[in-house]
Chain A
Amino acid sequence: MAWFRKEKKPRQPRRERLEIPADVWEKCEACGHTDIREKFVRNFNVCPNCDYHRRIRASDYCGILLDDGTMEELELDIRSIDPLSFPEYPARLKKATANAGEGDALLAAAGMMESLPVNLGVMDFAFMGGSMGSVVGEKIGRLGQRSLERKHPLIVICASGGARMQEGVLSLMQMAKVSAVLAQLAERRIPYIAVLTNPTTGGVSASYAMLGDAILAEPGAVIGFAGPRVIKQTLGQDLPDGFQTAEFLLDHGMVDQVVHRRDLKHTLSQLLRHMSGKPSATGWTAS
């Protein structure tokens, strides 16, 4: 009888059980899809399930858009002050700096994009909602100046709730300031591209966001002059589905393309090459 008896060995797991600590899981804010963080990160922080574009930091955009090792951050020493002695502003600035870094709401950089030299401004929503004050205006102004001097294209990635209230009318005037710089670029035929990410509203949308030689938007980004809450308030009724999304703006002729973050770099580089008379980065391609 014993010939078919199986010898009992202690059960050995085939391999070490994959231990996944709870904190590597991430849940998509839009669809609830849960996946390991690495998958989100490798997918440019876009949900692998529903394509929801998560908010990322300014430095992440530089990593996505600029060729490895070519990024040079500019205008590092410029800081916001409290020109109006506005209540609680110094404290808010301090907190924002602690949370989001010293760069204020805009990271200014120079680098190569598919071997093409560019100047890149990226707004950082983490710094006081990406609000535009004197520093943001001045940094874009200087990037524009650099573009004028070197004849390098300018790209600005927008993410902002609008002008920074705490700097009052000085913030408002940054709209005019940046627009004046962009007019100079236009006259010298230096390409400028605006990329609108979630959200792009208020004073930023009503100035450099809408002045690109090409305007691209990330899928699902909320883009508009007045925020949805304000419009709801003035109208006293609910807003239609999809109102003020990137796709809505595309339908209404306000942006050139809605581009997945994965394709952003190549699309930008293609556009810049068309506009500056440079050959294609990949040589001749079909279609």
Chain B
Amino acid sequence: MATATMEFEKPIYELERQIDELKKLAGEQSLNVTDEIAPLEKKLVELRTDIYRSLTPLQRVQVARSNKRPLTDDYLRLCFTDFIELHGDRAFREDAAIMGGWARLDGETVMVIGHERGRDTKENLRRNFGMAHPEGYRKALRLMKLAEKFHVPVITFIDTPGAWAGLGAEERGQSEAIARNLFEMSRLETPIIATVIGEGGSGGALALGVADRVNMLENSVYSVITVEGCAAILWKDGKSPEMREKAATALRITAPDLLELKVIDEIIPEPAGGAHADHATTAASVQETLVRQLDELRRLKPDKLVRRRREKFLRIGQYAE
């Protein structure tokens, strides 16, 4: 589903191409075109800002799924140091759809766990597009318990279309694996910060998402079902852009929606043109947020931390009485 080019970004590509051509021309004929390029680059920033300010929910889904966006692997490189990857669930096998290990954030040891969907086709296949089997969630839980044992905070990155639906996944207890994570995360005696960096798809996302702070990148989405699945079930049409847009709008899956519904705590802004336009700046914002939140959470005693986390999730829901 990752889109190499997004229709609504065409004006941006067009302008970028013009600037590149001008630069090339200038290089060939050794002309000074700084005066011509400066306004074009200013225009590019404005264009990116304008387009990204008025994205529709379905366009945000496209952005969230883009394979150009920074992935867990990128954040590990850009926000952390000393990463040592840990593999396997100690029961069945290694699942590359979720990666994790020890790392340092601002010099302090943390456990980083995230869905990793891979940038190119080969990696996509190896990592099953970030759709984990039960062993992926069990590995994640193993690492979380390990972090708890050594009083180390857990940082998760959520980026998955959902948990894998297949024979082996069902046989080995996909439901149980996800449920166990929700259960254990709700009482893990160490700080947990979760950040949705791309697509937060249903139970497969929540299995890394029961946290003291839940963040969403500005253009990420978080949903109980994919827009395609929702449109297919309710309106018998999961393919047409109209029905997908209808579902994307109805489900309220964007970061501002979730903040309003009190499901997440904070939105991490993306640079003009989206996270994919500037990995370094995005990673810097993520890093700043994590460091700040961790500093707050470290002050709380484990039992108070757990109580607050629980109360936070117990409050979620809207009904009449």
B-binding residues in A (CB < 8 A)? 77-81, 83-84, 86-88, 134-135, 137-138, 141, 163, 165, 167-177, 179-184, 186-187, 202-203, 205-211, 223-226, 230-231, 234-235, 239-240, 243-244, 252-254
Contact = CB atoms under 8 A, between A and B. Distances in A.
A252 B172 contact: yes
Contact of A225 (B178, B186, B233, B313): B178
Nearest to A212: B179
17 contacts: A77-B321, A170-B317, A172-B206, A173-B317, A176-B185, A176-B186, A176-B316, A180-B183, A180-B314, A183-B187, A203-B202, A203-B224, A206-B178, A209-B179, A211-B179, A230-B165, A231-B166
B172 A169 contact: no
A283 to B, nearest CB: 36
Contact of A134 (B180, B183, B234, B317): B317
Interface stretch (B1-9, B77-85, B251-259): B251-259
Interface in B174-213: 174-176, 178-180, 182-187, 202-203, 206, 209-210
Given A181-B314, A225-B163, A243-B170, 15 more contacts: A79-B319, A87-B250, A134-B318, A165-B225, A165-B233, A169-B252, A173-B316, A175-B203, A175-B206, A180-B314, A206-B178, A210-B176, A211-B179, A225-B165, A230-B165
A210 B175 contact: yes
A78 B252 contact: no
Chain A binding surface SS class: helix
Interface in B306-321: 309-310, 313-314, 316-321
B321 A176 contact: no
Contacts of B166: 226, 231, 234-235
Interface of B: 163, 165-167, 169-176, 178-180, 182-187, 202-203, 206, 209-210, 222-225, 230, 233-234, 246, 250-253, 257-258, 261, 263, 309-310, 313-314, 316-321
A226 B183 contact: no
A235 B164 CA distance: 11
B203 A172 contact: yes
A26 B130 CA distance: 49
A167 B319 CA distance: 10
Contacts of B165: 225-226, 230-231, 234
Contacts of A168: 223-224, 250-253, 261
Q: Which of A79, A167, A169, A234 has the most chain B CB within a 10 Å cutoff?
A: A169
Contacts of B167: 231, 235, 239-240, 243
Given A169-B252, A169-B263, A176-B182, A203 B317 contact: no
A172 B202 contact: yes
A224 B170 contact: yes
A169 B175 contact: no
A231 B173 CA distance: 14
Given A165-B225, A183-B183, A225-B178, A135 B319 contact: yes
A180 B313 contact: yes
A225 B224 contact: no
Contacts of A81: 318-320
Given A172-B202, A225-B175, A78 B319 contact: yes
A236 to B, nearest CB: 11
Q: Which of A77, A80, A182, A224 has the most chain B CB within a 10 Å cutoff?
A: A224
Q: Which of B166, B167, B222, B313 has the most chain A CB within a 10 Å cutoff?
A: B313
A252 B167 CA distance: 12
Contact of B171 (A165, A167, A226, A252): A252
A201 to B, nearest CB: 8
B230 A179 contact: no
Q: Which of B178, B179, B252, B261 has the most chain A CB within a 10 Å cutoff?
A: B179
Contacts of A239: 167
Contacts of B185: 176
Pairs of residues from A and B, 7 with the lowest C-beta to C-beta distance, nearest first: A226-B165, A134-B317, A179-B182, A180-B186, A225-B174, A83-B318, A205-B175
Given A169-B263, A175-B182, A84 B173 contact: no
Contacts of B230: 165
A254 to B, nearest CB: 5
A223 B175 CA distance: 9
Contacts of B172: 252
B311 to A, nearest CB: 9
Given A203-B224, A208-B179, A211-B180, A177 B317 contact: yes
B228 to A, nearest CB: 11
